[in-house]
Amino acid sequence: MTLAPYAARQETSRGRHVAEPSSGNRTEYQRDRDRIIHCAAFRRLEYKTQVFVNHEGDLFRTRLTHSVEVAQIARTIARSLALNEDLVEAISLAHDLGHTAFGHAGQDALNECMKPFGGFEHNIQSLRVVDVLENKYAAFDGLNLTFETREGILKHCTKAKARHLGDVGQRFLDDSHPSLEAQLANLSDEIAYNNHDVDDGLRAGLLSLDQLAQVPLFARFYDEVITLYGQDLSAKQIRHEVIRRMINYLVVDVIETSQAALSSLQPASIDAVRGADRALIAFSPEARRLNVELKRFLYKNLYSHHQVYRITSKARRVIKALFDAFLADPKLLPPKFSERVPPTGDDADRKIRARLIADYIAGMTDRYALDEYDRLFDPRRLR
């Protein structure tokens, strides 16, 4: 497959922090993807909640299946646009590595706890996982990924935080864009979660087809499916036939809109993409509007649903209780963390202590966090 001139390519890569000999049989971005798949944080995604808490049922998305769906969508679009599939896959599979247990409730709770110590942000944590926290290689900390994969992982960042993030923080300071592959992984994330959350919401019985028939994007394809097949389909078939059409519509829209933008601007290289006056991977205005309406519907009816809220509220209490207990008494941390807690207690030391605790908590899967909570607070638990 020939890459477009504006695609990322290893020959023009900004490289790795620690230089390594090339692999011979794999491209640099394939190597990045392989390192991500073989890291512990990637395996933990299997037991981290996307929206529905992991033990609610075996069919709901987890962070792992979400990441695989993001990679699938991103690769489809990348191939159509002659972008670098290996890079887009690496970014997609790594984009949620820094997410806490219990979905956004977990992230919000940990951010709240970390407010006095610089906050907690899952994007920055994903970068921290691949740059620092994975520590099984002899020659370097982290996974020593290429600049382009790291650039894609850090998808949002405030300017204040970007100042401390070195090479990959720079684009937030000079308002430039990341590679097309990074832009694409970001949009594919949105396509994946909007659609699979509709699917999971319906399957869980928290959303109904009647309710969704009021949402324009869903309604458009719901009507098409009913016209084609009549009312004979099962609810499961209707759900699937509508959602596959919604995904396809958004994917084709991104391909066509982005292709038009690329044809008119004709960026000659990845650096021309970075310096362009706008993001070039995008939805059309109509698809964007339909997508935003769907997202609003999900916020109102799924993410704030009473049943979801009760569980996420419990999740917040678990995260906060763990954080508070470790902060008050770091000797409760497992030795590999407590050994690194500075003994004295000035402001800088307290920040280091809090960050170690955040790293420990952010790495926990849902079930590990619940178990750790029991180990700390249930007087009958011995270990």
Tally the residues of the chain: 383
Choose between 148 and 189: whose C-beta lies nearer to Mg ion: 189
8 A C-beta contact, residue 255 and residue 188: no
Distance of closest approach, residue 331 Cβ to Mg ion, in angstroms: 35
Choose between 85 and 189: whose C-beta lies nearer to Mg ion: 189
Distance of closest approach, residue 122 Cβ to Mg ion, in angstroms: 9
Q: Give me 276's structure tokens.
A: 């362009």
Choose between 39 and 97: whose C-beta lies nearer to Mg ion: 97
Q: Give me 135's structure tokens.
A: 């520590």
Choose between 67 and 84: whose C-beta lies nearer to Mg ion: 67
Distance of closest approach, residue 133 Cβ to Mg ion, in angstroms: 19
Q: Which residues bind Mg ion (CB under 5 A)?
A: 96, 189
Around Cβ 197, how many Cβ atoms within 10 Å? 22
Q: Give me 39's structure tokens.
A: 């890291």
Choose between 64 and 202: whose C-beta lies nearer to Mg ion: 64
8 A C-beta contact, residue 127 and residue 165: yes
**Residue with smallest beta-carbon separation from Mg ion:** 189
Distance of closest approach, residue 142 Cβ to Mg ion, in angstroms: 21
Distance of closest approach, residue 373 Cβ to Mg ion, in angstroms: 25
Choose between 99 and 353: whose C-beta lies nearer to Mg ion: 99
Distance of closest approach, residue 193 Cβ to Mg ion, in angstroms: 6
Distance of closest approach, residue 92 Cβ to Mg ion, in angstroms: 9
Choose between 20 and 190: whose C-beta lies nearer to Mg ion: 190
Distance of closest approach, residue 168 Cβ to Mg ion, in angstroms: 18
Distance of closest approach, residue 342 Cβ to Mg ion, in angstroms: 34
Around Cβ 120, how many Cβ atoms within 10 Å? 26
Choose between 144 and 194: whose C-beta lies nearer to Mg ion: 194
Choose between 186 and 258: whose C-beta lies nearer to Mg ion: 186
CA angle 129-131-133, nearest 5°? Answer: 45
Angle of helix 216-229 relative to helix 235-265, nearest 10 degrees, comes to 120
